[in-house]
Amino acid sequence: MPFPQLSVVVPTYNRLGRLRSVISALECQQYPAQNFEIIVVSDGSTDGTDDFLKAYRSEITLRFFPQANRGPAAARNLGIDKAQGELIVFIDDDVVPQPMLLAEHVRAHREAAREVAVIGPLLSPDGFVMSPWVRWEQQMLMKQYNALQSGIWQASARQFYTGNASLPRARILAAGGFDEKFRRAEDVELAYRLSDQGLGFVFAMDAVGMHFAERSFTSWLNAAYTYGGNDVIFARDRNQQWLLAAIENEFHQRHVLIRSLVGMCKGRPQLTSLTTAALRFAANAANMMRSEKLEEIVYSGLFNLQYYRGLRDEMAKTRSLSFLG
């Protein structure tokens, strides 16, 4: 069978050092260079990214498009619009693709019984020092991947992260692209619409991207809060009513300490702030003691506290999700 034409879309913002590694890794793919292009969209970068891309020369095809800072959804939409490939492969600017990533994405599409979105893993690079909260996040991702690999979970829209994913360009266009109002979870929001239109999802463990993840503690907490609010928006405004029952079921399966923590801080912003500070202190202590288990428990508490706070704040607008009060 002929090799399909791919467009690798990479949105970037002020990560020139890491972006160089991403592009270098794409130059080394075990996939015919004439059968893929790289489209880099600079989302208002100010660190020299644009000058680097303007001067870039290589045997592989790279096209560069700058835009004012409008967020990753807008950057990906521009990349999709400019793409010429039949399959779009999304890679983030902090995800370094391993040599077989493109070939494994194509293999997964060929082996699927119908049109699908393919989700590749975001693995932790050996020797890369992550902040403890990011390390916790990577550990949670690995639990998801293990569940997908073992068949405990089936791949779905909820695991569609555009750090490493691919799907037919025509499908994205038919769905209307990314909703640019969302600055987080815009990939999952698109995936729900794609799922409603009959697109399947598969997980390809061998389509490996190494994730050099970096984010501040505050950014990490804010992301958890936003994810909670967005889940309510998806259920309420995006025709995903099933999500409410899933969220409630997951809440009741959380550890009793998590449920107690969420209940204790409900509607008490000052107590939430004090509890967050106390948990942060406990997490630092666990890190100093090299107690990975305690550290995991504490960061789970921090993340869930913010997630359910965001969920509760959004649900208060329509007085839904009574299980949280």
Mark whether 200 and 264 lie in a shared domain: no
Give the model's pLDDT for residue 24: 97
Question: What mean pLDDT is predicted for residues 107-117?
Answer: 96
In a domain, 1, yes or no: no
323 falls in which pLDDT band (50, 70, 90)?
Answer: low
Q: For the chain, what percent of residues have pLDDT higher than 90?
A: 87
In a domain, 169, yes or no: yes
Task: Residue 268: give the domain boundaries.
Answer: 218-324
Tens of pLDDT, residue by residue over 6-52, are 999 999 999 999 999 999 999 999 999 999 999 999 999 999 999 99
DSSP character for 184? Answer: S
Boundary of a domain, candidates 186, 215, 244: 215
What does the DSSP assignment read for 237-275? HSS-THHHHHHHHHHHHS-HHHHHHHHHHTT-HHHHHHH
Tens of pLDDT, residue by residue over 233-257, are 999 999 898 998 999 999 999 999 8
In a domain, 289, yes or no: yes
What's the pTM value of the predicted model, to 2 decimals?
0.93
In a domain, 171, yes or no: yes
Give the model's pLDDT for residue 320: 58
Tokens of 47: 């660190």
The CATH number of residue 16's host domain is 3.90.550.10
Residues 6+ away with beta carbon under 8 Å from 268? none
Mark whether 124 and 104 lie in a shared domain: yes
C-alpha separations of 115 from 8, 125, 160 in Å = 18, 31, 15
Residue 192's Cα: distance from chain center in Å? Answer: 14
Among residues 273, 298, 300, the alpha carbon closest in space to that of 284 is found at: 298
Mark whether 260 and 148 lie in a shared domain: no
DSSP character for 292? Answer: H
In a domain, 125, yes or no: yes
Mark whether 160 and 41 lie in a shared domain: yes
Q: For the chain, what percent of residues have pLDDT higher than 70?
A: 98
Mark whether 163 and 79 lie in a shared domain: yes
Tokens of 103: 């070939």
Number of domains the chain contains: 2
